[in-house]
Amino acid sequence: MKVMNNPMEESKAFPLIMTYSTPAIIALLISAIYNIVDRMFVGNYVGDLGLAALSVCFPITFIMIGIGLLASAGGGTLFALKLGEKDMEGANRAFGNAFSYVLILELVVTVLLLLIGQKFLRLLGASDVVYPMAKQYYDIVVFGSVFQGLTFVLNDFTRVSGKVFLALLITGSGAIVNIILDAIFVIGFGWGVQGAALATVIGQVISTLIGLWVIFGRKTILKPKKNDFKLDPSIIQEITKLGVALFIAQFAFGFISLIYNVYLGKYGGDLAISVYAIISSIMTFVLMPASGLSQGMQPILGYCYGAKLYPRVKYMMKTGCLISIVITTIIWILVQLFPSQLVYLFGGGQNEDLMSLGVTALRVNFSLIPIVGFVLLCITFFQAIGKAKPSIILTLVRQVIALVPFIIILPIFFGVEGIFFAQPISDLITLLMSTILLRATFKELDQQESGQS
């Protein structure tokens, strides 16, 4: 039964998508600033070895983010599905379980990472020269994992509940604090990579505190009770199923960062690893609009699917794909026109070798960005409608199965520059698979719609 004046069911596609996606895009751009600002300050005031140290630690960031997204995206999707079914009690339980789930997982990971720190950093490619700086950064950032995970959960549930600008406040406040403290700690106090790490963790703590105020101060439709935070195996299983695709994606990012560091170090040394720090930072930032669009569409697709509005699900997806392609094409043009300016932001002006390899790598790695937005949206689409398997398959193909072989093989023939061709080739393969899976799912939706009539 349709709820009158419900924007999820009645609003036009483009304004509805942009209403939910714009704050998510801004929030993710702000979230990306954490790593990017650290690297910009370190690259300019510590040097390329500092950048290499942060690059070595990059996989750890993905692991912590992945756990946060497992609970936040999985719980947020379940929350949206329950809202579509008009089950507010189930929606509150989804939040409570997601909150407890991420808290436990991040605490376990924090202890584990602290216990294996030295061996893990060596595995991640830290050379004897880079290791001391990497260890300084690692020891501090690991303590922020709990706050990072909680921030993801508090932000996502605030956004999915319709309070998109409060969600923006949660992430934005921490990022602003991070930028200010980076300037104070790295430039003012000269604390180097330790200062960058400390600024990041303090920013995450601030975001968590504001998120707690928003949710438990009853600023949203969420009204969780004490019992909602008791782990329910069936709810945890559902959250895990809905969020595992993004968890695997982040874990794959971390794994690929490790592979990149190993082979870049083998063929190009610490300089090439420093270039990857720049490339991965810029890639993280420029993909945020596409990722934000996907996140913004997730509750819309989940609600419409839960409400069995199948034609609207398809229409929303098609509109989202068009928006995504336009956004990523604009970004692609900017990156291709101004690569040297982007590398310069990370200290490229102080190192000619860093600038030369950085510009080439940036242009190659970003050559097929317009199709990546579509692929990311497809991954989110399957997750939003409760079909985890296609999301997992696409994620693994893009980030592991199709990518790793090219990282290993291409430099044999083309040297260190060949490594940066691996991602565009992997994206082409994933595009083909995404198109096939999406068309098959659209046919299933048509059949379900026919069965209703």
Note the pLDDT tens digit of each residue in 137-148.
998 999 888 998
Judged against a pLDDT cut of 70, whether residue 2 lies above it is answered with: no
Q: Which residues contact 72 (CB under 8 A, 6 or more apart)?
A: 98, 102, 149, 152, 153, 155, 156, 157, 243
What is the crossing angle of helices 192-216 and 145-160, to 10°?
A: 40
- The type of residue at 393 is I
Among 265-274, 279-288, 330-339, 431-440, which is the least confidently predicted range? 279-288
Higher local confidence (pLDDT), 172 or 408: 408
**φ, ψ for residue 240, nearest 5 deg:** -60, -45
pLDDT at 46: 86
Side-chain-side CA neighbours of residue 244 (13 Å):
14
Note the pLDDT tens digit of each residue in 106-136.
999 999 998 988 888 888 778 888 899 989 9
**CA–CA separation, 403 vs 419, rounded Å?**
10
Higher local confidence (pLDDT), 171 or 26: 171
Judged against a pLDDT cut of 50, whether residue 339 lies above it is answered with: yes
Section 154-178 average pLDDT: 85
Judged against a pLDDT cut of 70, whether residue 4 lies above it is answered with: no
Higher local confidence (pLDDT), 427 or 290: 427
Residue 6 binned pLDDT confidence (cut-offs 50, 70, 90): low
pLDDT at 421: 93
Judged against a pLDDT cut of 80, whether residue 388 lies above it is answered with: no
Q: Which residues contact 253 (CB under 8 A, 6 or more apart)?
A: 59, 62, 66, 399
Section 432-443 average pLDDT: 93
pLDDT at 18: 85
Q: Average pLDDT over the chain, rounded to whole? A: 86
pLDDT at 452: 67
Residue 189 binned pLDDT confidence (cut-offs 50, 70, 90): very high
Residue 1 binned pLDDT confidence (cut-offs 50, 70, 90): very low
**CA–CA separation, 316 vs 293, rounded Å?**
12
Judged against a pLDDT cut of 50, whether residue 3 lies above it is answered with: no
Statement: the pTM of the whole predicted model exceeds 0.75: no
